Chains A and B, each alone.
Chain A
Amino acid sequence: MDTTSVVEIGRPSVPRETVWRSLRGHLKGTEYTWALAFVVPYVAVFLTFVAYPVVYGLWMGSEAGLYRELFDDPIYQKTVVNTVLYLAFGVNVKMFLALLLSGFFMRPGWWMKALLLIFVLPWAVPQISTFISIHWMLNGEWGFLNNVLYTLFHVEGPHWLNDRWTALAAVIVSHIWKWTPFWTLILLAGRMAIPLDIRDTAKVDGATGLRGFVHITFPLLANLYLICTLLSTIFLLGDFNAVYFVSGGGPANTTHVLATLGIRNAFEIAQPRLGVAAVMSALPLVIPLVIVLMRKLRTAEVQL
């Protein structure tokens, strides 16, 4: 018996039907047209403003020669070290402070709410003007900080922004000052979401104070804390403002991070591809972070 002919007859019609059905789902008649009409603008916007820029960026930074030039640049080597330090201290010190402060702001009382309002101000005010203010405050000759030191103690303060390490420290501290309130609010919301009966039961069992934090609060907040840390790391990798406006990448280009170096290469040196390559060189770190973040967001366990 020749079965080939049966298969050949059936083959063209079955997949086409299946594909058509899977595309249409359970939609019938004009429903399908309406569905298309709603989806097409979103897809168009997504392709134009998300997919195209990403693909264009990848294309711009796709030449291997760019990375050779970048890795040979002594400024890039310092920039990588700065970026790692910025991430390590900027993210972890900030998140740890936010964790502690979120506990502090759980205390009852109207004055605590008033204090919280003042505390969130650094986050609420515009970034650029505050970072420029910090830049002026740290000016060695006539900045506020050194003038206070001189007026009170007759001490000539250091030129904070003239040394790589003090300038980088100023950038990191500025970032922590700016963003700690935001993450404190997030963790505070997380703490407030812990059901009261869990806390009350723990108290009955003697888990108060530090024990309560170690055995009840932190385990319940751990997932949120990790997600916040991952998000903050991704945000910080692309952070431009703190470095650009506090230290300006100086002195002598020693405090750049990848985001500011990218802009410098693209627009000051007028080599846009080299600028894109500088930013793209962070991808080996960004992609695993995003993957871990996505996995954490899919966690099915009962965690806050």
Chain B
Amino acid sequence: MSEPTVSGESAANGSVPAPALSVRNLSTVFESPQRTVHAVRDVSFDMRPTERLGVVGESGSGKSALALSILGLIEPPGRVVGGEIMLGGRDISKLSDRSLGAVRGKDIALVLQDPMSALDPVKTIGYQVIEAIAAHEGELRRSAARKRAAELLGEVDIPQAERRLDDYPHQYSGGMRQRVAIAMAIAHNPSVLIADEPTTALDVTTQSQVLALLDRLVEQHGTAVILITHNLGIVSDFCDAVAVMYAGRFVETSGVDHIFLSPTHPYSEALLKCVPNPERLAEGPLPAITGFPPDLAQLPTGCSFQPRCPVGKDIPECQGQTPQPHTVEGPSGAASVECHFADQRIGQVKV
């Protein structure tokens, strides 16, 4: 993903593998009679097989809406208003809900943030894992399904998996529930896995266990992963590429080194400066990004970060024109940056 937003026409070229997932100009809104919230705005990216893309951003920047939009699971009053989602060479954004059902859980799967609420409290673990298996198997005998479910739970390191199939979610710990969620997601070896803050609700030790597990599984199966998080530490450990999301847009997309060594968008820079760093304890309190994220129903004209931006605050260009993605080449790789000052800032920012 050194050139993140180049068009996905590389399939013809034998040396570059076809993208596992290619998203073009995806936009999602939530409409009510009073207001229209633009949750995802014109997002484009490609993912190679096995690539791990970290999507970072504040709460409310549209990360989860993006995940649900890709899966076609946006519920009214939300609606995907445009864009293409090419999964294995097929545009799934135009499919009916029924045809999408054949894709979800099979070619593209989802892991959600909160393991406490991601499992139905009144159904057994076995029921829910078997449900994931059976959704894409024509006919499945009960004994075979149980066997496969126990294998899956074994794969995610649930001890005594066979016996614990009959337990209910409240009998599992948070980390185990998240592993069950992962087991259900990988049941059919999807080519793309979307993990929406899979570790946010877990304690640090469990977090690293779950990440190590995810790491091992996607390695084994060659799955491409979209990891949505606001934890930059996880991104640096786990991901190859990063997309910084702000107000529904990917404002900076690059390889993982670039974002940590020379973030170019002023928002990326500010985000990185908010990460606690023991070496800079002496410099005083942790900086915070001033102001608030914009109201997605009443976006400012021009660059949406401009009202909070230390660089573009009073610059007419930033106030008047929406910056388009600039591809810039920096000391630690290329990046696509939606900032009028991208060319000047590349390589200049130190964090």
Same complex origin of A and B: no
